[in-house]
Amino acid sequence: MSLAVTHSRALDGLAAPEVTVEVHLANGLPSFTLVGLADTEVKEARERVRAALLNSGLEFPHNKRITVNLAPADLPKESGRFDLPIALGILAASGQIDGQKLAGCEFAGELSLAGDLRPVRGSLAMGLALRRLGSPRALVLPQASAQEAALVDGLVIHAASHLLDVVKALLPGDAAQPLPRPQAAPARMVAVGADLREVKGQTGAKRALEIAAAGGHSVLMVGPPGTGKSMLAQRFTGLLPPLSESQALESAAVLSLTGAFDARRWGQRVIRSPHHSASSAALVGGGSPPRPGEISLAHEGVLFLDELPEFPRAALEALREPLESGRIVISRAARQAEFPARFQLIAAMNPCPCGHHGSALRSCRCTPDAISRYQGRISGPLLDRIDLQVEVPAVPAETLAAAPDGEASTVVLERVLQAQQQQLARQNCLNAELTGEALDTHCALDSAAAGFLQTAAARLGWSARSFHRVLRIARSAADLSHSATVQASHIAEAIQYRRVLAVS
């Protein structure tokens, strides 16, 4: 036959739209033409496919006019993922394999010049797309990529290490040799991280992190250098409950888009710590084609921004929408991509340029104007979106010399688990996600608590957003104390976490 059709998938954000690879062989001046809005990486497949076929001992139709069409034509295609379906299309069109067997499979894989199959990005996104559509097709991938896709239940996945492995499986009749299935998905490894008990002192900061973990809130820690802000942030994931199956798959799928997924960390919460020199595109995503940024790679995990005022202002302002919506839409002239970005923000900063403003151990050298300018690098609207603002003071030497006296992460985690179970049973979401009527219903106050909150809001000049965030924090504090109602004591504690920095 002179026409063959294979199936594959492109990447469009976290989606994986189907791509039909049509290969036609015709008489005429020998050529190899590839059409269908292909990027440079895809066009280079002509040379990789030619060399891979010849070095694998297969026949390449040198004397034919080869036309490869990647449909739909208006969908951009990138990376070397189409090498394998193009090569199989040429073999089927030239009669070297059974073209009818191609219809029941989808293929993706980059070919080396020797015919070896190299892994591709986004194999988990391909698997999720197949499951979402209920497609009966099997998925044929390189060995490492097949191992990733096998995390999605209910799919037929085959692994191949070389082009010849796939060719042998597509031979006509009894000559076919079936491809192996990838190994079963690895069991979730229990993360053994640093313990919160190792942080000496800082009782107030530990309590704030416990409330943040229980309700899904964001945190800003302010204090002199060396007081344990980074240590606290690195131990925060140990206070978070295990990911559900769907959360783990979404997190792994986003990491798979950049090749950052590690099967050894399957099911564990991610903590991303970008350097403060990161650009807006690195933080929220960008490029052409659009790629996920740090906020999406931290999906269902933690984003730790140390030295918060040192980040470019444009990068910090880009965090506003994702903090509210849990997603990011990257728009370019030619296309638009949406990525999930439901993360918990843990930020840390010094109170002034020298770092010792308010310290009881060292005097500050900064002028009031310098302190104001430094803190002013964080805009009021962004600061308003951070739930808890907690002071992390300098720790006296006698406290550092003493043995740890705090609670272990496992003890705090148990309380967090109980609080989150209460929230999910009551409102089917964490407190940080409460909005509208649900917020009024589940954060209802008695007259004393309501009057206290209204007085504080009027004196401190809060926005409506700050008012509602205090309600959510108080609801989380109430859940940790197993209280069915939000009381004045919970409101008072929540108010203390909104007064470290002034919102301008």
How far is 116 from 206, CA to CA, in rounded Å?
Answer: 51
Residue 338 lies in a domain: yes
pLDDT of residue 403: 66
For residues 81 and 228, state if they share a domain: no
What tokens does 376 get?
């002013």
Residue 459 lies in a domain: no
Give the torsion sign (CA, 79, 301, 335, 6): positive
Q: Mapping DSSP to helix (H, G, I), strand (E, B) and coil, where does residue 274 land?
A: coil
Cβ 443 vs Cβ 476: under 8 Å = no
Cβ 456 vs Cβ 495: under 8 Å = yes
- Give the burial class of 258: count Cβ atoms within 10 A of its Cβ; 0-12 exposed, 13-18 middle, 19 or more buried: middle
How far is 129 from 45, CA to CA, in rounded Å?
Answer: 25
Identify the helix (H) or strand (E) that includes residue 458: helix 447-460
How far is 322 from 341, CA to CA, in rounded Å?
Answer: 6
Instruction: Please state, in angstroms and as integers, the Cα–Cα distance from residue 240 to each residue in 114, 153, 298, following that order.
Output: 46, 25, 14
For residues 165 and 43, state if they share a domain: yes
Give the torsion sign (CA, 220, 224, 230, 232): negative
For residues 371 and 253, state if they share a domain: yes
For residues 266 and 352, state if they share a domain: yes
Residue 185 lies in a domain: no
For residues 29 and 146, state if they share a domain: yes
Residue 445 lies in a domain: no
What tokens does 247 get?
């959360």
From 425, 458, 481, the end of a domain falls on: 425
Residue 116 is given by DSSP the state: B
Residues in CB range of 373: below 8 A, 6 or more apart: none
Q: Mapping DSSP to helix (H, G, I), strand (E, B) and coil, where does residue 293 land?
A: coil
Phi-psi region of 407 (alpha: psi -120 to 50; beta: other; left: phi over 0): beta
For residues 150 and 296, state if they share a domain: no
For residues 150 and 24, state if they share a domain: yes
> CA gyration radius for the chain?
28
For residues 165 and 200, state if they share a domain: no
For residues 245 and 376, state if they share a domain: yes
Structural domain count, the chain: 2
Residue 40 lies in a domain: yes
From 146, 175, 204, the end of a domain falls on: 175
For residues 261 and 112, state if they share a domain: no
**Average pLDDT of the residues of the chain:** 90
Mean pLDDT, each 10-residue run in order, the chain (504 residues): 90 91 94 92 94 96 94 91 97 91 94 96 92 91 92 92 95 82 68 80 92 96 92 94 91 90 85 94 87 94 96 94 92 83 96 88 90 92 93 83 80 95 94 91 88 90 90 95 92 86 50
Q: What is the CATH number of the domain that holds 302?
A: 3.40.50.300
DSSP bridge pairs for 142: 160
Residue 93 lies in a domain: yes
pLDDT of residue 298: 95
From 399, 425, 451, the end of a domain falls on: 425
Nearest CA among 236, 180, 165 for reference residue 206: 236
pLDDT of residue 171: 86
Residue 452 lies in a domain: no
For residues 206 and 152, state if they share a domain: no
For residues 200 and 171, state if they share a domain: no
Summarised one tens digit per residue, pLDDT across range 455-469 is: 998 988 888 989 999
How far is 108 from 86, CA to CA, in rounded Å?
Answer: 10
Residue with token string 């148990």: 414
Residue 323 lies in a domain: yes
Domain range for 401: 196-407+420-425
- What phi and psi, each to the nearest 5 degrees, are found at residue 350? -85, 155
pLDDT of residue 429: 93
Q: What is the CATH number of the domain that holds 23?
A: 3.30.230.10
Q: Is the pTM of the predicted complex or chain greater than 0.95?
A: no
Nearest CA among 89, 96, 72, 79 for reference residue 40: 79
